[in-house]
Every structure is written in C-alpha cells, then in structure tokens.
Structure 1
Amino acid sequence: MRNTDRKEKFRQIVENKFQIYNSLFMSLPYDKMSNIGMLLPFLYEESKEGYDAGKTPEEILENFFTNHTHLKTEEEKLDLLFKIIQYIERQVVLFDSIEDAAFPSLHSDSDAGTVQNIFERATQQNSLQQVREKLNQFGVKVVFTAHPTQFYPNSVQRILHDLKTQITADSITQIDLLLQQLGKTPFLNKEKPTPLDEAMSIIYYLRYIYYDTLGELFTEIKSIFKTDGFHLHEDLFQLGFWPGGDRDGNPFVTADITKKVAEELHLSILKSYYSHLKYVRRRLSFRGVSEILDQLSTKLYDAIFKEECDISAEDLISEIDKAEEILNTKHNGLFKNLLDNFRDRIRIFGTHFAGLDLRQDSRILQKTIDFIVSKYDQENLTENEKFNYLIENKPQINFENWEDNVIKDTLKTVSQIPEIQNKNGERGMNRFIISNAEAVKDVMNVLAFFKVCQFEDDAIKMDIIPLFETMEGLGNGESVMKELYENPIYKKHLERRGNQQTIMLGFSDGTKDGGYLKANWEIFTTKEKLTKISEEYGIKVIFFDGRGGPPARGGGKTHDFYASQGKTIANNKIELTIQGQTITSVFGNKEQAKFNFEQLLTAGIENDVFENSKKELSQEERHLFEKLAKSSFKKYSSLKANPLFVPYLQEMSTLEYYGKANIGSRPSKRGGSSELRFEDLRAIPFVGSWSQLKQNVPGFFGVGTALQQFKNEGKFNEIVELFKGSDFFKTLILNSMMSLSKSYFPLTSYMKKDKKYGDFWQILFDEYQLSKDLMLELTGFKTLMEEEPISQKSVEIREKIVLPLLSIQQYALIKIKENPENKEAFEKLVMRSLFGNINASRNSA
C-alpha cells in the first residue's frame, strides 16, 4: 500500500472514527463530568490561539474561565480542571483503541519487513537457503522492563482491549457501554505499585498476547520456509523479564521478591499449557492418545496447585512424543499439527515463560565486595586484588546476621539461583547484568559472589553482562572486554558458557550523558570495536540494547535502525528492552506484536543476506559522522555544564513529581542523598520531564549546531550526500525529527521573560529552531516526518488531544511558584496531568 493510500485509509478508519466516537463520548452522562465534552473544545481553541498570540498558560486559563464559565472561586476552577484532565485521559484511551483496531487494515503480511516479504525477496534473489541458515543461528529477544512510562491501571488496560475489539466490529451499543464504563473507572493507582504488582501486570501480556503470538509466528515461519531437513531452533524468539529481578537502585526489589516473581512466571506458563491442552484434547479424542493427554492434564493441574508436585519441559515433551507415536501408527496422524504446535510452545517457553534477569549497579556490588573483604582484614587490597582474593579463597560466610540489608540481599539473591533454575530451567534465570559498568572489576566482582556463595565452577550457569552506558563506560568497553577475554579465570568461565558473551549498551543513559548524535555514534563505534575484539578471541558476541522506546531515548523505527547497522557489527541476535507505552503501543495486542516481532527478526536477516551499499560506511562518511558527533557533543556538553541545567529541570519542569506520583515502585533517582545531581538522574524522569515541557532536548539538542558547522564551512552538501547514502544516518535524522515534531515551544515561551531562566530557555529554543530548519533543508522535506504520513498524522492528533492538558499543567506549575503556601492542590493537578500526556506518547516503534 502506497503512503498516500495509507494516509487516506488512516483518515477514514482512525481520524473519522475518533471524531464520531468522541462526539458520542462527549454526550454521555458521567458522574461529576457533565458538560466537560462541550467545554473542552473551547479550552483547546483558547490554548491554540493564545500560544499563537504569545499568551502565557495563566492568561489562557483565566480567559477560558472568564469567557466560557461562570466560576468565581479557586476551588471551583480547580474542580473543573481535574474533571477536564479525567476527560482527556479517557479521550487518549479512546484514540489508542481506535488506532489499535485499525492496525490490521493499515498493514499486510506482505509489507516490508514481514516474514512473507523476506521469503518473496529471497525467492527472487535465489537466497532462500541463506535465509534458512540465518534463521537457524539467529534470535530475537525482547526484554520487558518495569520502567514507569505508561500508567494505565489493569482495569483500564482491559477496557482498552475490549474497546479495540468492539471498534473492530463497529458495535455502537457495546462501544457506548464501554465508554460509560471508562467514564466511571478510576485511572489512578491508590498506592504505589510494588515490584510484584508490576511483574503481574506484564505477566498478563505474556499469557494473553505473547503465548499465542509467538507460537503462531513460529509455526508460520516453519510453514513458509519448509523444506527437507529444516528445523527452527527454540530460541528464535525469546522473552526476557526485569520486574522483580532489576534491583538497580530499587530498594523494594529483594531476593524474596525475585523468588516470588520466578514462581509466578513458572505458574503462568503451566496455566497457559493447561489451557492450551484443553483445546488439543478436544480434537485428539482417539484411543491411546486421549489417555496420555488426560494424564498430562492431571500432571499439569497438580504442578499448578500442589506444592509438592512439579513438571519439567522434558517431561511434557516426552508425553507428547508418546502421544504422537500412537497417533501416527494407529490414527493416520490425524490432527498431528496440534501436537506439533503444542510441542513448539513448550520448546519456546520451557517452564520459565520469560528469562528473569538480575541487575544491580556496579557501585552497590563494589560496596558489597568491600564489606566482605573487610571481614577478613583485607581492606587494604586494591579493587582487583579484592575479587581475586575472594575467588581464590572462597571464604565461607554467614551473611544472614549482617545488618546491611542491601549487602545481605545481594548474596541471598546469588545463593538462591540454583533453586530457581531447578524449577524454571536454566533459561529461566541465567543472566546477571551490571549497570554502570566501567572496569574489569565490575564483572569479576559478580564471579566473586558465586565463589563466596560456595558455587563450584560448573555450577555457575550464569552469563555475566556488563552494561556500558556512560560516555566513559562506552569508551572503556573495548579495553575492559580485552582484559576480561585474557583473564584466565574469566576465560574458563566463558568456555563453560559456550564462548558466548552478551554485552549491554545503554541508549537511555548514553543519550542523557552525551546527547543524541554523540550517544548513537559512540554506541555504533563501540559495537564495532567490541565485535572486532570478540572475533579476535574467538568469542561470539551478542549486543543487548537498552533502547526503551521514544526517540529521545535512542528508539525510533526499530526495523530501520537494526537493518542499517551493516557488516562491521556482530549480528548474532537482536536483543532490546521495551517498557511502558512501548509495550502497549508496539506489542500490546496480537496483530501489533506479531508485526513487530517480525520486523526485528527480518532486520537481522536483511543485514546478513541482502546486499545494500547504504549499510556500509566509507572512511569519508565515518569522518563526517565523527565530526558531527564531536560538534554535537560539544554543544550538548556546554548545556549540561550550564549551572542552571539541573535547577531548570527541578524548578520549571515536572521532574520532582515523578517521584511523588503513584507511578512505579522505584525512586526517580539513584542514591539516597537529598541533593539532586545530574549523574543520579534516571533516564526516564529525565527524558519525561523534557517531554512534559514539550522541549524534548535529549532527542535533538546539538544536532542543529553540528549541521550548521558544515553549512558555515560550505560543506553542507556533504551531509546531504551522507543522508542519501547512509541508512544509519538517515534513521537517526528521521528519529530526531520525531522528537522535534513532538516539541512545542510556544507552551513555555513565557519562560523567556523569567529573570533566572529566560536566557536558558532561549538557548533551548534557538537550538530547536536551528535543528528543525537544517533538518528540513537536509532532507528536502516541507514538513517534519514527511516520509511517515501515518505516524505524522497520529502524532498530530495526539498532540491536539493533550494541548489543553499541557496548558493546565503549566498553569499549575506557575501557580505553585506564585503561591507556595497554597501549593498542595496545584501539585495534585501537576501529578495528575503527568499521566495523560505520557499515555499519549506513542509512535515510538
């Protein structure tokens, strides 16, 4: 389908439907929300026209109250604003549901990046065998995290799911009822969710979306590429899981929580098998076969509900094999495909469903090591000598009596790994990730913990994964891995792990630390160096990207990003984290999940099988990239060094409200100090605060300055050629354009008159304007995101929906500064407005 056709179809089945259902929504009788639907368009018009005329949010809201209401007291006005926020939140859900329902009509199985499309291309180019070979050695792993970037409670998630179903069926009566339910359903958590709450929320998706989606996609790929001797390996698609295992700075994640989440994952997959087996048994009612399946059903039931009973993946497959043998010999293999499909699910999901990763900050791990060696009067050792001492001596310790809970919990977490692996299988927990890794000792410290917990070498069935995320960490990556590969102790550990090393790279914190262009280029070149050094030492390296979703965090169009990386970067597996609104908007229902898992898989295949000169960078192009990154980094670093940088976020944005809202279980910054330091800021509240301001600094700042330098030198045409000739550079620019399209500086233009922050705001605006102008000139586009009309339209509609919400938020922030002794009500207004704005921030695939 051509872009013009897609755009017209989007207008018909998304934009028009939203207008129809929104008008229905506006007339429904909600408790305490009467007439809001009629007032909201007036607030939008006051906002749009007001910002165009240079008015402040305060002036816009006061005009709205004067021109369109009879309210006099501040209490009455606040009450109305809360109702408007509630209404807008529900508009966002309605638009989400309509857009989700339209997804299958806007995409087809033969679209670029689908499995069917790859098969057709491979057939035309006589490369089917290469694709099959790649499929057998490649894999995609999506790791779900609990980062709080999307705030729908489970009750609202279910309404969203049901709305999508009824919108697909055009059932006005049911839609009407669901919109009424939506109007009366709370959108807020009464209390902060616990790590277990967050885990259960995502396990819901595992059971009701990914179990079927990945199983059916696996079967489809087998069918499409079927030939004699072709078998797909079970790790083609993998799911990873962080809630309950990621204790990086989250004091609420404990060893007990980790164990509980592992149990819930185990029980959830057994429940999915039990449910699936019911369907299989309905068809396979034949003598000999049905008895085996009945017994298997009983065993699954007992494993779910009786503590003393359990079942392994091997046990399950063994019973299916027995049933299949009888089916083939006595019943002509009737419905054999049902057994094949069920067996494949067990091969994919084992008894773990998703692999639960452990993650901790390197500084916490070092603190634990320091404490242990101090118990043996060895605190004078260097950091390298400390881990060597513990690995060599394996001192027996009784950490149960120690006072420091974090240190005690670190060792308890390691000591219970065999128990979890025994129940969930080794794939259920086999990775320990070290945040802020910058040195060899950060990796070796983890190995030391296993020794302290009395693990024999063969019993350490865990991959130790450094996460390089700061500019310093990325810069050290090559030397750290070289030293590790040469370390005799770690070398033996890698041999036992099949000479395979996973390395994680943090786009989120990298972008926060180095700015958009520098971070992306640094990660690209770091991957190249790590690929080369790993090949030299005979190590199969896998890159795990902490990508998140929104472009400001290094996200953007995922297929294009991975398909553009070229031959100089190892392409053994695509692994990335997703969270929050990226889970619901990109993997939130079966159609979207299937499409986006396919996009990841085919991006990896494209890189190896299909030749494309635009993937490979020439030396001249690298020189241009380096110069752009350096110039951009210099500009971003000057902003970061500005003494007003952190105070601006503290005083003028919603940064501090992330920690106060009942959004997620973890604090909004690392460390326990009261002083807010840049390095302690977590990437999500950092990026989210810029997003709430509609300034999106991490997604563009420095790009305009870098492009301007080439223009000043009369070499802008070289960058134009780079854009035309490099898929990777083009992807970065298009992603940055999305950040620009979601920026709206008129919202905060009142800040330019602020005595303290006026000049700082002007710096941000000038770089935004420069970046926008030069990116349009570079691409030849007339408007931002011109090549992506559907995403462009979706962003446009969403920005229109939330503009009144943003006006209310800025109005409340202004009121808090004007009248700090009466700030409580306005602070609630700020926190409440966080939700709707971020829930609307999709378009980050």
Structure 2
Amino acid sequence: MSSPAALSASLVQIVNIESDLRAANSRLRYRLKLIEDLWESVLLRESGQELVDLLRQLRAMCSPEGQAPEYPAQEVLKVVESLDLHQATTAARAFALFFQLINIVEQDHEQEQTSIYRISPINSEAEYPVGTFRWLFPELKKLNVPPRQIQRILDNLDIRLVFTAHPTEIVRHTIREKQRTIAKMLKELDRTIGFKGDEIVPQAIALNWEAASLQEQIAEEIRLWWRTDELNQIKPTVLDEADYTLHYFEEVLFDAIPVLYDRIASAIAVTFPKLKLPSYDFCKFGSWVGSDRDGNPYVTPEVTWQTACYQRNLVLNKYIHSVDRLSRLLSLSQSLSDVSQALLDSLGDDQIHLPEIYAKHSIKFRQEPYRLKLAYVKKRLENTRDRNQKLRHSGWQASEMELSTKGQEHQLYTNVSEFLAELKLIQESLIETKLNPKPLENLIRQVDVYGFHLAHLDIRQESTQHSNTISEIAETLQLLDKPYDDLTESAKVAWLTQELKTRRPMIPAKLHFSDKTNEIIETFRMVANIQQEFSVEICNNYVISMNRSVSDILEVLLLAKEAGLYDPATGKGSLSIAPLFETVEDLRSAPPIMTELFELPLYRTYLESHNHLQEVMLGYSDSNKDSGFLSSNWEIYKAQRALQDVCQKYQVDLRMFHGRGGSVGRGGGPTYEAILAQPGRSIEGRIKITEQGEVLASKYSLPEIALYNLETIATAVIQAALLPSSTDTLDCWLDTMEEISVRSRQVYRQLIYEQPNLVEFFHQVTPIEEISQLQISSRPARRAGKRDLGSLRAIPWVFSWTQSRFLLPSWYGIGAALEEFLQQNPEGHLSLLQYFYSKWPFFKTAISRVEMTLAKTDLQIAHHYMRELTKEGYEEAFVDIFAEILKEYQRTLTVIQSITGQKQMLDSDRDLQRSVQLRNGSIVPLGFIQASLLKRLRQHRPDTVDLRSRYSKNELLRGALLTINGIAAGMRNTG
C-alpha cells in the first residue's frame, strides 16, 4: 500500500497535470483565434476587403454544425454562381490556407498534450495516459503478468514501420517546410504569453514587444505562403518521392530512436528492474519508396539502386555530423584520464592506414586520443560516402572492379559492423574510467537501427508479372511440352519445385526476352547486387501483391534462384518472400495456400535461413473496395486467426504485415486501438505496418508527436501479446460477427457491383477524373486505362468519395446489417451489441471508426454534387442511387448511436468532435465552389472559352484542383 506521503504527492501530481492540460486548452483557443485573425489580416493585405467579406459571408451561410443548408440553398448558390474563376479560385485557396493553418495549431496542441506527461517524475504514482510505457508496465504488474512472459515478448519485440509513396500526400514539400517554420514560431510565441487555468496572464512589456514582433513574422510567413503555388506543376519522380519521405528521417526520426529507447528502458527499470531490456533495434523502419513497382512503370532497377545510394548518403552524413559533435565533447586529456590499451593500439593502426589524418591532427590532438580517434573515424565515413557517390553514378550494373573495396579496407568502412566496433571501442575505454557520454550511447543506438542503409527497401510486384515472366522464359527456351499458363496449379508447383532443385541456370546471362520480362529478371539481379554492396539487410523482403496460389510464391523463389538469391545446393536463400492477400476471396484462401506451402519440404528448408519466420501481408484497401468496411475488417480478423493456427501447426513464427492506409476506408484510424483490435495470438511481439501519404506528415513532422506515436505502437504490441482479448475463444461472438459481416457485404456489393449505373454515378458526382490529374504521385491512378472499378486503385476510390463528402467506403452496408440483426431480437441483440462495444476491442474499434466517418459525412452537400454534376439522361437513375445511399446513411447513424448511447457523433471524443466541427463549417462553402468549378470544367467545349469568366479549360482545371487541395486539408485525410 502506498504511504500517505506518496498518495499526497500523487494527488498533487494529478492536480498539476490537470492544470497543465487546462492551460494547454487555453493556449489552443488563443492560438486558433490568433491564427484566424492573422489569416484574415494577410488576406486583407494581399487581396482586399472584398475577399475577406466573401469568406465571412460563405461561412456564415452554413450552420454551426457544419452541415450544408437544405437544398435549394439559393443564398449560397447565388453567391457561388456569381463568382468568376479568379474569385472562386482565390476563395478556394483562402479556405485551403485556413485549414492548413488550423492543422498546424492542432498538431502543436497534440504535441503539447503528449509532452505534459513527460515532465512528471518517473517514480511518481500519478496516472499516466493509457498507451504509454509509464502506464503499461505498472498495469502489467498490477495484473500479475509473470515477468518471464514479459521478458519473452521483450526479447521478441520487433516493430517495423514501412513508409510508402501512395498518392495521398497532396501537400507540396515546399508548403510542408513553411508549415514547420510557422509551428516553430508559434512555439516561440508561447514564451511571451502566460496562462493560468483558462485565463491569459499579461507578460512583461519586453515580452509583449517580442510577441508583436513574432506575430508579424508569422504574418509575413503566411504572406509568403499565400504567394506560393500549392500545386505541383509536374509529376514528382520516384526519386522526388524518396526525397520527400526521407526528409522525416533526417528531421525527426534519426534523433527520435534513442529517446524512444530511453523511455521504454526507464519505464521497465522502475517496475521490473530485473528484466533484460529489448535490443536497441526493437523498432525499425522500412520503405516502399523507390522499390514498390506494383503498377508503377517508373520504378526500375536503376531507380531502386539510386534510392539505396540516396538513403546511405543521408545516414552517412548524419553519422559524420554526430562524430563532429562527439569530437567537440570528448576533449579528455590523456594526462588527466586513462585510456584503454586497445584504443591506443587502434591509433597505431590508424596512423599506418590514414597517414594524412595523422599528419594533420597528431600535434593538435597529441594529448587528446579520443579526438584523434574520431578524426580517423570521420575520415573513414567521408571516404565511405565518397565511394557511395561514385556507385550512385555507376548504377546497379557497376562492374566487379567498381564494387570491389580491395586495397581500401582500412581507408573506409566496408560494412556497418566495422563502424560500430570503433564506436564501442571508444565507449569501452570511457566506461573503464566511469564515463559513458549520452551522445555516444545515442549514436551507437542509431547505428544499430539505421546501419548504413537507413530504411529497409521492400520490393513489391504483382503476381501475374512473375507468371508472365516464367511463361515467356519457358516458351522461349522450350522448357515445357505445353504453355506454362495451361498447366494446372499442381503441375505448376511440381515443375517449379523441380526447377528449384536443379543447379543449372535456367536464364541465360544475356537477355533476349521482351522488355517487361527483361526488367523483371533484372530486378532480381539488381537485388543481388544491392545485397552484395549494401548488405542483405537493406533489401531482403519481396512482397507479392494479388497472391492467389502456391505457384505465385514459388515463381518468385525460382527467379530469385536465377539471380543467386537462392542456393539449390543448400536450400537456403537471402530473400524473404511475403505473399500479400488483398481481396476477400484471397483472404479466405490464405490459410490453405500457406498450409500447402508449408507442406513442401523445399520451402520448409528455405524458411530455416529466415529463422523459421514467415511474413504475410494483409491488404485493407482492396478488400474494402471489394467487400465494404465491416466485411473487409472481419475477413482480415479471421484470416489472422487462421494463419496463426497454420503457423503454429508447422512451428513457424508469423509476422503480420498490415497494409493500412490513412483513411478509415483503407484501414486507417488510431494505430494503438487498431493493434489491440487484432486477434491476440496473431501478435507475439512482432508487427509490420505501412504508413502512407498524409499520415506521415500528421505522425512524423514534429518530434514529440512522432515519439508518442512510436511509443503507443510499441505499447500496443506488448499489450496485445500479453493481454489478448478473451473473446477470441467465444464462438458465439464470432458467429454473430460472421452473420453481420455477411449481410454487410451483400448490401455493399448490391450497390457497388450490382447497381448498373454506380460506376457512372461515381465518375459524375465525384472529382475522380480531376483527382487523376493531380501531380502528386509518380504512380498512375489506375492499373490499366479502363474506366471500370476493377482497374481503379483503392486510393483514388476513397479519395473521390471523401471529396464529395459521401465517404461511402467507410460505412456503407453496416447500418442495414446491424439493423437486420437488431430486428431479430430488439432488446436482447441491442444489449449484446452494446456489450460487444464495451468489451471487444475489435468491435469497438470498428464502430468508433464508422462513427468518425459519419461525423465527416455530409449527404446534403453530396446531394448538391449529384444535382449539379449529373449529365442529361442519368437524372432518374442517379436519384434512385442517392435515395439508397441516404437511406443506408440514416440507418447507420441510428444504429451506431443506439450502440454507443451517444446523442451526437463523437460525444465520447470531444477533441475530435471539436476538430471536425471546426473544419466542417468552412468545408461546406468550399464544396459548393468545387461543385461549381467542376460543372464549368466539364461543360467546357474545346472550341470555346467559358463565357462567364473567359478562362481556358486548363485554367478551370487548375481551379478545380485547388478546391481538391483545400478539401483534403480540411478533412485531414484523403485516401
């Protein structure tokens, strides 16, 4: 039992935290008002009173809840339709700027809230937020979780976050930089303003003068932003995307990892001091940027090689800067501090191999051995970087001579372990004298995590590309009696297995196949070269999208063998293959496919070289597009349970790779809740998750938010492994969910796939065609040039419904399914669903995500899009479709509120509710502007100009694209 003094201290701590949170909320209100005032003042100065009056008028015409006024909204329409293109575009830009500024303020508020808990002592008994390390380990102790079980999970802890280049990041890199600048200025402004509870406390006159100066600087930055084009003028290249993505590593994540480790280490030390800490690299990062070639013809072997070189260059520069800082720190004199003999011996070797460094620094550092050692270390890093630059220009087909480091072994680092050994040599010498400087320890942790590669590069390609390649090779070389594609699945597996056992090469060194087949073969050869040059660790995972059979996996293994990535003599390989199951049908087929695969002795031997670990990726986007939100998530849930059973049977460890997007319709939502919602046994301390598009900016732009996100993910993984949901064993719950899921899928598919006019409805009432013209991604919006749903990617599918405020993929079909279940037994089934909501993480997470999207849905403005954009001849059909959508929305709204017991959407999450309402009021007039511009654009004729504005079609398109940019900023997610 805690002592009275401890309890008193705890109460004081809680009171202090609550006071700090109230002050933070006061600062939020102040900043929101300030930023809105600055926004208006900039617009007034830049564009005049007329624009400011127009924006105020449009916002005032919308209700406080942010819903569009009932149709016909003559007042709004009259104003919007009277605008010429310049006025409409300027208003759209102004609203977009407002949303972006509000996002900055809110993100800074989120960072401040997470940091409030960091300033309290680690040994205090105050309650900390659920999802943090300080909360987790005391909770495990309170629940009497055996330390040996905790140790097992800590030993296996393996979290991998994979950044992808999916086209949902609509904000230009240039604008992101301005956002960061303003965020820093707002932080500075906080110093000049005091808060006591809800009250603003005037500061000293000097600080008030400083506050005025900072406000003027912020206004100036906003003016610069206003004069900056929000739209990319050309499509970004793949290497541009790599630059954008790796910026987060350079600015935030490189320095975040040591802090993350400190947080988990200190939390464990207080509650379980005898436990061994996890390895430094328990949290790693991967990337698809520059390596994901599924549907992107611009990701070539050369681009992947260039990306790897770019990553290595970035991390080497970070190490060089860190070594410079260490050199300034480690000024110890040999006459005042002992130095290990091992370190002194290494200096003798260094003098022989790098005499120019000795000549330059030996006199200056003659009594400072650590600085002299670090001078040698820095030179080796610089030489390694210089060689990397040469290889980048040489390309992936660099000659053996170019790849060779013979004769240079002591002038540069041939691998990261050599660099790490030198850092540890310095650390061990210091430890002998009771010193262990934090910057050195942090650098060692960073090297453990980032190596010389920074982020793991996953290769991804679609399954038919491999089968087409094998088919062409077999036909060209006459390897089979009949075409490969004509073989049965069992015959394919038998032939592929035989070829994998054969030691002779199948593919000639010089390629004479089609360009596509040559590129597939060269991709594997490039991977072999990357592994040779950069180490296996940088590129040892191959994801097969649309995986539908065992032969899909064996085809990749055979192509790997031909590139030297699989040795038929030993049965071992350096490339881990991860099948990606995406559609509902594929998810259901995953367990039998993996069972058949594990039955193959050849594949089981192959897994030995990967520590008996099998990675399986599950796709949220395509399964959602195929089956609807609820059915998709339920099928993924079932697939995980079944795959875990299969792997357990064959004594294979399983790592689930979750292909989540940013929006709810693509698996998005709070990551902590999402991890806990997975079946308990599917997470044994291991997880891999994609981080996409605008999610990167929202999670990793600011250090404290990035750390909080990483901490909650790690907490959830440990928690899910040690405290799995008991509902996994309740068959009656699973049967109930299956019944609801089946009905939800039926309702969803009736509209999306069985309604003959739905595709036309989608293309006419959403800005899908205009979105495909945004220069935001190197990858095309469609897998093929067809206008059907099958070829349309899930990202623009969700993006388009979001723009027109339908948000259909996130909720359609759920209301009907739940209502039908409730009608079977109104009181009993409602009580059951409410119990699910309170006790079953999977169900609560699903309902909460639906609730959030319903709060953002506005079918009144969506109705306006339909009436304004429907082409002649489709009116009657579209009215019927909209009636079905409206009916399902109302059903869903009613049933969700009955389950949650809330009168209004998001009553249980006031912060999110406030955020949504804050934006909705300005998104509505922007939606009216977008619909108006889309109508003008689509009615434009090539031989004329718009009679009202006399603008060309390209200028009208630009206006429409600017509204897309603005609504995306207001919704805070796109696809």
Tell me if both proteins adopt one fold, taking TM over 0.5 as the criterion. yes
What is the DSSP-based 3-state SS (H/G/I as helix, E as strand, rest coil) of the residue aligned with 1:427? helix
1:147 to 153, 166, 172: 166
Contact 2:158–2:686 (Cα < 8 Å) also in 1: yes
- Residue correspondence of structure 1 range 283-294 to structure 2 within 5 A: 283-286=329-332, 287-294=368-375
What is the DSSP-based 3-state SS (H/G/I as helix, E as strand, rest coil) of the residue aligned with 2:907? coil
Amino acid of the residue matched to residue 602 of structure 1? Answer: T
- Residue correspondence of structure 1 range 287-686 to structure 2 within 5 A: 287-306=368-387, 307=390, 309-329=412-432, 332-377=433-478, 378=480, 379-381=482-484, 382=487, 383-384=492-493, 387-388=496-497, 390-393=499-502, 394-398=504-508, 401-402=511-512, 404-457=514-567, 460-610=573-723, 613=726, 616=728, 618-640=730-752, 641-671=754-784, 674-686=785-797
Contact 2:683–2:720 (Cα < 8 Å) also in 1: no
1:208 pairs with 2:251 = yes
Partners of 2:381 and 2:923 lie apart in 1 by 48
Corresponding residue for residue 920 of structure 2: 799
Partners of 2:471 and 2:61 lie apart in 1 by 60
Corresponding residue for residue 723 of structure 1: 837
Q: Which segment drifts farther, 336-345 or 387-396? A: 387-396
Partners of 2:514 and 2:29 lie apart in 1 by 56
Q: Which segment drifts farther, 555-564 or 577-586? A: 555-564
Corresponding residue for residue 279 of structure 2: 233
Amino acid of the residue matched to residue 748 of structure 1? Answer: A
Contact 1:369–1:386 (Cα < 8 Å) also in 2: no
Corresponding residue for residue 353 of structure 2: none
C-alpha deviation, 1:263, in angstroms:
0.7
Partners of 1:58 and 1:407 lie apart in 2 by 59
C-alpha deviation, 1:651, in angstroms:
1.9
Corresponding residue for residue 222 of structure 1: 265
1:181 pairs with 2:224 = yes
Identity, % of aligned pairs?
A: 25
Q: Larger Rg: 1 or 2?
A: 2
Amino acid of the residue matched to residue 195 of structure 1? Answer: V
Distance 1:327 1:630, change over 3 A: same
Distance 1:17 1:677, change over 3 A: same
What is the DSSP-based 3-state SS (H/G/I as helix, E as strand, rest coil) of the residue aligned with 1:81? helix
Amino acid of the residue matched to residue 861 of structure 2? Answer: L
Contact 2:62–2:69 (Cα < 8 Å) also in 1: no
1:519-560 Cα distance to aligned partner (Å, 9 max, x none): 101000000000000010010001000011211212212111
Corresponding residue for residue 88 of structure 2: 81
C-alpha deviation, 1:86, in angstroms:
1.7
Contact 2:798–2:807 (Cα < 8 Å) also in 1: yes
Corresponding residue for residue 115 of structure 1: 133
- Residue correspondence of structure 1 range 701-716 to structure 2 within 5 A: 701-714=812-825, 715-716=829-830
Q: Which segment drifts farther, 405-414 or 372-381? A: 372-381
Corresponding residue for residue 828 of structure 1: 958
Return the TM-score normalized by structure 2: 0.81
Q: Which segment drifts farther, 299-308 or 337-346? A: 299-308
Partners of 1:686 and 1:468 lie apart in 2 by 19
Partners of 1:136 and 1:454 lie apart in 2 by 32
Contact 1:351–1:423 (Cα < 8 Å) also in 2: no
C-alpha deviation, 1:281, in angstroms:
1.7
Corresponding residue for residue 48 of structure 2: 34
What is the DSSP-based 3-state SS (H/G/I as helix, E as strand, rest coil) of the residue aligned with 2:156? coil
C-alpha deviation, 1:603, in angstroms:
0.6
Q: Which segment drifts farther, 832-841 or 207-216? A: 832-841
Partners of 2:382 and 2:373 lie apart in 1 by 14
Contact 2:805–2:856 (Cα < 8 Å) also in 1: yes
Distance 1:185 1:406, change over 3 A: same
1:115-152 Cα distance to aligned partner (Å, 9 max, x none): 12113323444545543432221121111000111222
Corresponding residue for residue 790 of structure 1: 911
Corresponding residue for residue 304 of structure 2: 258
Contact 1:284–1:335 (Cα < 8 Å) also in 2: no
Distance 1:349 1:509, change over 3 A: same
Distance 1:362 1:693, change over 3 A: same
What is the DSSP-based 3-state SS (H/G/I as helix, E as strand, rest coil) of the residue aligned with 1:296? helix
C-alpha deviation, 1:206, in angstroms:
1.0
C-alpha deviation, 1:392, in angstroms:
4.3
C-alpha deviation, 1:296, in angstroms:
0.6
1:7-58 Cα distance to aligned partner (Å, 9 max, x none): 9667533344222222122112689633333321212234559975533589
Contact 1:97–1:167 (Cα < 8 Å) also in 2: no
C-alpha deviation, 1:380, in angstroms:
2.6
- Residue correspondence of structure 1 range 753-764 to structure 2 within 5 A: 754-764=875-885
Distance 1:129 1:460, change over 3 A: closer
Distance 1:817 1:153, change over 3 A: closer
Distance 1:215 1:51, change over 3 A: closer
- Residue correspondence of structure 1 range 159-178 to structure 2 within 5 A: 159-170=178-189, 171-178=214-221
C-alpha deviation, 1:689, in angstroms:
0.7
Partners of 1:223 and 1:166 lie apart in 2 by 32
Contact 1:57–1:811 (Cα < 8 Å) also in 2: no
Contact 2:67–2:921 (Cα < 8 Å) also in 1: no
Distance 1:695 1:617, change over 3 A: farther
Distance 1:293 1:689, change over 3 A: same
Amino acid of the residue matched to residue 428 of structure 2? Answer: E
Amino acid of the residue matched to residue 379 of structure 2? Answer: T
1:562-599 Cα distance to aligned partner (Å, 9 max, x none): 12334342433121111111111122211111101111
Contact 1:400–1:408 (Cα < 8 Å) also in 2: no
Distance 1:761 1:205, change over 3 A: same
What is the DSSP-based 3-state SS (H/G/I as helix, E as strand, rest coil) of the residue aligned with 1:27? helix
Q: Which segment drifts farther, 831-840 or 24-33? A: 24-33
1:768 pairs with 2:782 = no
Q: Which segment drifts farther, 684-693 or 393-402? A: 393-402
Partners of 2:686 and 2:477 lie apart in 1 by 43
What is the DSSP-based 3-state SS (H/G/I as helix, E as strand, rest coil) of the residue aligned with 1:301? helix
1:839 pairs with 2:969 = yes
Distance 1:314 1:792, change over 3 A: same
Distance 1:616 1:13, change over 3 A: farther
Q: Which segment drifts farther, 119-128 or 648-657? A: 119-128
Corresponding residue for residue 74 of structure 1: none
2:71 to 31, 43, 55: 55
Contact 2:21–2:113 (Cα < 8 Å) also in 1: no
- Residue correspondence of structure 1 range 126-137 to structure 2 within 5 A: 126-127=144-145, 130-137=149-156
C-alpha deviation, 1:175, in angstroms:
1.5
What is the DSSP-based 3-state SS (H/G/I as helix, E as strand, rest coil) of the residue aligned with 2:261? helix
Corresponding residue for residue 742 of structure 1: 856
Partners of 2:301 and 2:862 lie apart in 1 by 45
Q: Which segment drifts farther, 808-817 or 522-531? A: 808-817
C-alpha deviation, 1:246, in angstroms:
0.4
1:400-440 Cα distance to aligned partner (Å, 9 max, x none): 65463322111111112132123332221110001111111
Contact 1:54–1:749 (Cα < 8 Å) also in 2: no
Distance 1:422 1:451, change over 3 A: closer
Distance 1:542 1:45, change over 3 A: same
